[in-house]
Amino acid sequence: MLRTVLTICFIIVCIVLTVLVLMQEGKSAGLGALSGAAETYWGKNKGRSMEGTLVKITRYLAIAFLVIAAILNINRF
């Protein structure tokens, strides 16, 4: 029973993690990074923006993915 619940949670985490990664912007700053133009107000306060929130949620879901995958794999050996 617990294995079934963990498998369902694992599938949900996988789907949400995939969607969140696809929603995020690329890390390439373009030619503006060469002249220092990337250091703007939005660049400095990235952690408080929606993009910063997506990065934090992605990080927590990645940790949950690894933990659930390890738990599901324990009984395989």
Enumerate residues 6+ apart whose C-beta is below 8 A from 13.
61, 64, 65, 68
- The domain spans of the chain are 43-77
Q: pLDDT for 14-58, tens place per residue?
A: 999 999 999 887 766 555 555 555 555 555 566 567 888 889 999
pLDDT on residue 46: 60
pLDDT on residue 76: 67
3-state SS, residue 29: coil
pTM for the whole structure: 0.68
Q: pLDDT for 58-77, tens place per residue?
A: 999 999 999 999 999 987 66
How far from 65 is each of 40, 56, 71, 72, CA to CA, in Å? 34, 14, 10, 11
